Structure 1
Amino acid sequence: MVNLNGVIVETQKAVISIDNRGFNYGDAVFETLRSSGGKIYFWEDHYFRLMASMRILRMEIPMNFTMEFLEEEIKRTITSSEREAGYLRIKLLVYRKTGGKYTPNTNDIEYVISFEKLETPFYTLNETDYEVELFKDHYITSGLLSTLKTNNRLINIIGSIFAKENDFQNCLLLNENKQVVEALNGNIFLVSGENIKTPPLSDGCLNGILRKQLLSILKRIPDFTVEVASISPFELQKADEIFITNTIQGIVPITKYRKKIYRNEVAMQLLPKLNLKARTD
């Protein structure tokens, strides 16, 4: 089932206009949510990120677009059995109403909510081989717009095709200053001894919800020092450990970059803390 502006319809019958602005101009933002047993992980953080993204894109936020309203709309979209027992990936997409070309006729919005099932109720650690490479054909532009979850993901798409063609599990993306920004599908963290480093939002990395949660967790662990700073490609082979974070997978350890083999000890230490935070927040 899909929720189109408050109307629940069967997925195969859901339609949008051919002149939809999200489809034509990338004039849309979205949130990817993980839900288990009817609880949406880190829902408050997702909601406020969505509101901030809509304001930055000058979308008109309806008066009824409260956190409670959208949560209820999500729950209405999902059948009761799936909400209680299901492990779900939910997508909440917001786009400006049709009209105008580059300059829209209105800043009013419409939305669609869809979902699909996941295999596990909580975050697990992938311990299979996970090799990455730098993707250097195109660059992310540092700045505020790159931190938003818009539906303009061409670099990620081309990068994922490059990874598939070359038997990599993922790629790391660079900005115009040749700094490592993020992976194709999430933020990155580098572990060097007791220091853990992740790029700043000013470099153009996604303002990830799991990035925020892990930074919060790490600040409470006295064994580690946390640094939010630019990452040079030369630092990758010096790191002891690198992992990727995103809302659906949680923590994904990288096992290999070129000739460098990485451990996953810190990722294993953080995983139960992340699962606890997801269930209790």
Structure 2
Amino acid sequence: MINFNGTIVSQDANIMTQNRAFLYGDGVFETVKILNNKILFLEDHYFRLMSSMRVVRMEIPMNFTIEYLEEQILSLVRTNSLSESFRARITVYRNDGGYYLPQNNTVSFIIHAVALETTIYAIDKKNYEVDLYKDFYIAKQLLSSIKTTNKIINITGSIFANENGLDNCLLLNDSKNVVEALQGNIFMLLGNKLITPPVSEGCLNGVMRRQILSLAKKIENLEVVEEVISPFDLQKADELFITNVIKGIQPITQYRKKGFATNISVQLLGKLNEMISST
């Protein structure tokens, strides 16, 4: 089942040959985690979605409030009462009509949800190996910081990772600096300094990135900064980890021949779960 413009319908009810999200990537989306009938970091997701719609000049409906979005997501989740944790995606796309130039800027939305096995965030202690993906680069521009339905770099990078036995890849921008991972933002610990690239470098303005930056600043003797990360810096790092709202924190244990510890990532995950349980 999906939620299509506020109505719960069957999965195949929205196959439309004129869907602009399918034809041109003319859509934006948010992926959220629901725990015990509560959408985590709802306000951050909502305002990023509104900002994304404005950036691509979509018309925001008058009823598209944070309360409306919450109710539309939870109404879909309630159709499956057997799970306490869900992953939901809301995709907003410009309505049919036109070619590159749309006939209007009105929108429709689809929400799809799947149950998750895990509830609180946890770290998988298995080996997690990454490398650089250098076939294509991310542009240092505003569009790179929002979640659009054009994710072809992430798709081809995921295929590359799979073909090479990697768990993930790190993406570079057009200045050849490390920007993010295929499925999340990247953090690097160097001594007592925790570094993540600034959004101006072309990385996604991640919701979990924001939470981790806030939590890390509360750790004593840890300097938290947004700075450029070059590929050469990775070899000097003490820790590397990836963040997103579904996984939380994913430590990187190996980059090429370099291995990494997981102390800070484990500490931050504990603080993340404490924050969630207290709200």
Shift, 1:192, TM fit: 1.0
Q: Aligned residue for 1:49?
A: 48
Distance 2:275 2:137 in 1: 34
Match of 1:10 in 2: 10
Aligned partner of 1:141 in structure 2 is 139
CA distance in 1, matches of 2:268, 2:62: 39
Q: Distance in 2 between matches of 1:153 and 1:253?
A: 23
> Deviation digits for residues 235-281 of structure 1, max 9, x if unmatched?
00100000000010000000000110000000110111111223344
Q: Does 1:243 align with 2:245?
A: no
Gaps of 5+ in 1: none
1:271 is matched with 269
> Which residue in the other structure is 1:106 paired with?
104
User: Partners in 2 of 1:88 and 1:276 — Cα distance?
Assistant: 19
Number of the residue aligned with 2:36: 37
After TM superposition, give the deviation of residue 52 of structure 1 in Å. 0.5
SS of structure 2 residue aligned to 1:24: helix
1:116–1:243 distance in 2 versus 1, CA, 3 Å: same
Summarize deviations over 1:153-176 as a string: whole Å, max 9, x none.
101000110000010100000001
Report the residue type matching 2:19 in the other structure.
Answer: N
Q: 1:221 Cα deviation (Å)?
A: 1.8
Instruction: Give the direction of change, closer, same or farther, for the CA distance of 1:168–1:6 in structure 2 (3 Å limit).
Output: same
Distance 1:14 1:114 in 2: 12
Question: 1:207 maps to what in 2?
Answer: 205
Q: Which residue of 2 aligns with 1:184?
A: 182
1:14 shift after superposition: 2.4
1:187 partner amino acid: N
Task: Evaluate the alpha carbon distance shift between residue 165 and residue 85 of structure 1 in structure 2; reply closer, same or farther with a 3 A threshold.
Answer: closer
Contact 2:171/2:179 (<8 A) preserved: yes
Superposition RMSD in Å:
1.1
Counterpart residue type for residue 19 of structure 1:
Q
Residue 14 of structure 2: SS of its match in structure 1? Answer: coil
TM-score normalized by structure 2?
A: 0.97
Amino acid across the alignment from 1:2 = I
- Whole-angstrom CA distance in 2 between matches of 1:195 and 1:185: 23
**Alpha-carbon deviation of 1:81?**
5.4
Query: In 1, distance between residues paired with 2:34 and 2:114?
Result: 10
Hey, what does 2:64 align to over in structure 1?
A: 65
Aligned length: 279
Shift in Å at residue 10 of structure 1?
Answer: 2.2
Alpha-carbon offset, residue 206 of structure 1: 0.4
**1:146 partner SS:** helix
Q: CA deviation at 1:85?
A: 4.2
What amino acid is the match of 1:203? E
- Inter-partner Cα distance in structure 2 for 1:26 and 1:81: 30
8 Å contact kept, 1:42–1:278: no
**CA separation in 2, counterparts of 1:123 and 1:38?**
16
TM-score (norm 1): 0.97
Tell me the distance in 1 between the aligned counterparts of 2:57 and 2:80: 38
Distance between the aligned counterparts of 2:6 and 2:15, measured in 1?
A: 14
Letter in 2 for 1:213: Q
The code of the aligned residue for 2:161 comes to A
Q: Which moved more, 1:13-22 or 1:37-46?
A: 13-22
Cα-to-partner distance string for 1:208-253 (whole Å, 9 max, x where unaligned) = 0000001111122222101101100000010000000001000000
Residue 260 of structure 2: aligned partner? 262
Query: Which residue is 1:24 aligned to?
Result: 23
Deviating above 6 A after TM superposition, structure 1's stretches of 4 or more consecutive aligned residues are none
Question: Using the alignment, how far apart are the partners of 1:60 and 1:267 within structure 2?
Answer: 40
Percent identity over the alignment?
53
Contact 1:59 1:109 in 2 (8 A): yes
